[in-house]
Structure 1
Amino acid sequence: MIDHVLVRSYIKQSFLLLAACSLTLFAFAWVRVWVVSLLDMGQFQTILEQFRQFEKLAPISFDALFTYQGRVGMTFDEPIVILCTVIWCISRGSDVVSGELGRGTMEMMLGQPISRGTLLWSHATVAVAGLALLCAMVWVGIAVGVSATTVDETVPPPSVEVPLLGWEIPLQTGDPVKESFPLSERVDVRAFGAATFNLFAFGFFLLGLSTLLSSLDRYRWRTVGVVMAIYVVQLVMFGLGKATEVLHWLQPLSFFNCYRPQKLTTLVQDGDLRAPWSLTEVMPEAMFPPLVYSGILVTLGGLCYLAAARVFEKRDLPAPL
């Protein structure tokens, strides 16, 4: 089912893109953890409280953002992380059939003693392995950033509350006391394992969808355009569903509803690392257990790959122009 010569060829084709995306994700995840340490938690909480009315638009509750683990977990929702993942998935998925047809090289490829299925699954092996590497680089960047970062935090002075009036009177004067501690004392990088898998599942679905549409078309630019159109429509549906109760029914119809790495991170409490991997305990404010959402994306991606293989095996390929 897999040809090693084809695998090596696809690795050479995609190496520069994979290296660029990997380095970008690693560096960005590390730098973002460092940026989190620059914001004083007390001041950050005071500022964020002023925007409570917009909490429903945030990926997680503001209370979760008041913790270092919650703020580091927001890395998975950053546009550059999603962008690099989408670029890899759409560029590789769209290339497998329509890319070869557009370049006029498909006839030469199939002129070798290989089947259509071998070509598609060899390409899929490289694409999925590359996606797994990209997701791992995000986690590694976070882990390195957490282990190398020290946080300075303002300690509130002791105070006493005046009965009946509800006033708090500080018991000491002078400059606020600051303490320093390693960020690793507040953030457990193992808690991001489920979020990393959720990012992989999201990318795997896009890979399968891009491959399916590529197997139906002969022009790569058209395949990319259709995939991006579906992506944008689904994103708009998800945003409108979160913005207003009237259109809330649109949210479950978008595959973005299954991408919730931040909420998976917030499930880790009191060192319970198994909570985000549960198939029995329903998530707060959700319909299903946490692992079901990643499972839906992986299942849809797998079905798209199977449909792409079926279409590619049965279709008549156009002659090169």
Structure 2
Amino acid sequence: MMALLTIVRKLLGETRGSLLISTLGFFGLALLWNWGMSEFQFPTDTDEPAASVSADSEGAETDEPRRERRRGRAGPQIYVFFGVPAEQMLGIPPSETPTLAMQAAIANHPLVFLALLGWGISRASAAVAGEVERGTLDLTLSRPIRRSTFLAAQILATLIVFALLGLAITAGHLASTRLIYRLNGTPPPIDYLPMIGSLIALGMAVFGYTLPISSGSLSRARAGIIGLAITLTGIAGIIFARQYEEYDWVANLSVFQFYAPVANTLSPTQEQWTDLGILVGVFAVGSIISFVIFLRRDLPSNSG
């Protein structure tokens, strides 16, 4: 156990700079997201009252479009686009829209999504192939440390990374809701657990299908490129399936089909729990395959 925790501490220490930047970035993004929500739910009109706007020969704009532009206020469609059910956004007074669902929708933001993919692929490609390439695996396994302990430490360290990223977003939501912005409702911290679980599950699923490649490779770049290719293929499969209804089954071949943070946060059904279980299953199967490959492969020099 001590060896496991020592390796985990070493791995987190090596990535502390990137991890700090990522967590602060997620926290800041959550603050910005909640500012937009506050402006949507309780808009503040800072325009000077204009009695009238005279129309010129080409037809001038009315006050309202200019006022809306200056507010920079997002419409309800943007939240529907990020996964909030349309019936909870469209035709509803902004001050009555669901705060928790809108906050959970940040998990579908491209910056969050890409960060999860980046961390999953980079951590997996560095787990074994990166250590072999740098020559540090030989040094680590020359000590009384089992290969299984080493790989388990890599998995645990990655799990901690994704948990910290999810907690950073949650901290931003909590700070915004209670201390900074006026929002419709103050969800308790426990209500954010499904969103955190979805973030962790997706990140670990990407890590899970990239790790077996790293476990049998000598090159971190090769493992990363293959992991990236699988990821891009999965994204392309989702896009293709949504364009052609007869190929809906293609979407089920991608882990991204089973990522639904908003639905899991609102009222998870049996189907949504199944989807979350599939993401966890991809990680579990990938980890088992990785252990089999890593424990049986030949390593350079005296790596164990």
TM-score, normalised relative to structure 1: 0.74
Residue matched to 1:179: none
For 1:89, give the aligned amino acid. Answer: G
User: What is the Cα deviation at residue 136 of structure 1?
Assistant: 1.4
- Provide the identity percentage: 24
Cα distance, 1:58–1:119 mapped onto 2, change above 3 Å? closer
Q: May I ask how many residue pairs the two structures share in their alignment?
A: 266
Cα distance, 1:58–1:17 mapped onto 2, change above 3 Å? closer
For 1:62, give the aligned amino acid. Answer: A
User: What is the Cα deviation at residue 60 of structure 1?
Assistant: 4.4
Residue matched to 1:111: 142
Between the aligned partners of 1:296 and 1:68, the Cα distance in structure 2 is 28
Q: Which runs of 5+ in 1 are unaligned?
A: 151-181, 268-275, 283-287
Does 2:39 align with 1:38?
Answer: yes
For 1:138, give the aligned amino acid. Answer: I
Q: Which runs of 5+ in 2 are unaligned?
A: 44-67, 91-96
> SS where residue 252 of structure 2 aligns?
helix
Between the aligned partners of 1:26 and 1:48, the Cα distance in structure 2 is 23
Between the aligned partners of 1:135 and 1:183, the Cα distance in structure 2 is 21
> SS where residue 143 of structure 2 aligns?
coil
Alignment of 1:67-146 (within 5 A): 67-69=97-99, 70-146=101-177
TM-score, normalised relative to structure 2: 0.78
Alignment of 1:4-15 (within 5 A): 4-15=5-16
Residue matched to 1:161: none
User: What is the Cα deviation at residue 249 of structure 1?
Assistant: 2.1
Cα distance, 1:117–1:46 mapped onto 2, change above 3 Å? closer
Judge conservation of contact 2:40–2:74 (CA < 8 Å) in 1. Answer: no
Judge conservation of contact 2:39–2:73 (CA < 8 Å) in 1. Answer: no
Judge conservation of contact 2:116–2:203 (CA < 8 Å) in 1. Answer: yes
Judge conservation of contact 1:17–1:88 (CA < 8 Å) in 2. Answer: no
Cα distance, 1:6–1:187 mapped onto 2, change above 3 Å? closer
Residue matched to 2:85: 61
How well do the aligned residues superpose, as a CA RMSD in angstroms?
A: 2.7
Judge conservation of contact 1:149–1:183 (CA < 8 Å) in 2. Answer: no
> SS where residue 144 of structure 2 aligns?
coil
Between the aligned partners of 1:39 and 1:197, the Cα distance in structure 2 is 27
For 1:28, give the aligned amino acid. Answer: L
Could you tell which deviates more after superposition, 138-147 or 2-11? 2-11
Between the aligned partners of 2:200 and 2:263, the Cα distance in structure 1 is 16
Alignment of 1:191-230 (within 5 A): 191-230=191-230
Between the aligned partners of 1:46 and 1:26, the Cα distance in structure 2 is 21
Cα displacement string for residues 156-190 of structure 1 (whole angstroms, at most 9, x for unaligned residues): xxxxxxxxxxxxxxxxxxxxxxxxxx415275664
For 1:59, give the aligned amino acid. Answer: G
Between the aligned partners of 2:74 and 2:256, the Cα distance in structure 1 is 30
> SS where residue 119 of structure 1 aligns?
helix
Between the aligned partners of 2:118 and 2:170, the Cα distance in structure 1 is 19
Judge conservation of contact 1:37–1:149 (CA < 8 Å) in 2. Answer: no
Judge conservation of contact 2:98–2:184 (CA < 8 Å) in 1. Answer: no
Cα distance, 1:264–1:228 mapped onto 2, change above 3 Å? same
Between the aligned partners of 1:48 and 1:183, the Cα distance in structure 2 is 15
Cα distance, 1:9–1:58 mapped onto 2, change above 3 Å? closer
> SS where residue 185 of structure 1 aligns?
coil
Cα distance, 1:14–1:310 mapped onto 2, change above 3 Å? same
Does 2:283 align with 1:308?
Answer: no
Judge conservation of contact 2:129–2:219 (CA < 8 Å) in 1. Answer: yes
Judge conservation of contact 2:36–2:74 (CA < 8 Å) in 1. Answer: no
Residue matched to 1:171: none
Between the aligned partners of 1:128 and 1:193, the Cα distance in structure 2 is 15
Structure with greater strand percent: 1
Cα distance, 1:128–1:244 mapped onto 2, change above 3 Å? same
Cα distance, 1:205–1:2 mapped onto 2, change above 3 Å? farther
Judge conservation of contact 1:93–1:211 (CA < 8 Å) in 2. Answer: yes
Between the aligned partners of 2:185 and 2:114, the Cα distance in structure 1 is 31
Judge conservation of contact 2:138–2:300 (CA < 8 Å) in 1. Answer: no
Could you tell which deviates more after superposition, 249-258 or 211-220? 249-258
User: What is the Cα deviation at residue 106 of structure 1?
Assistant: 2.1
Cα displacement string for residues 294-317 of structure 1 (whole angstroms, at most 9, x for unaligned residues): 111112201211211111010112
Between the aligned partners of 2:83 and 2:103, the Cα distance in structure 1 is 13
Alignment of 1:132-281 (within 5 A): 132-150=163-181, 182-185=182-185, 190-267=190-267, 276=268, 281=269
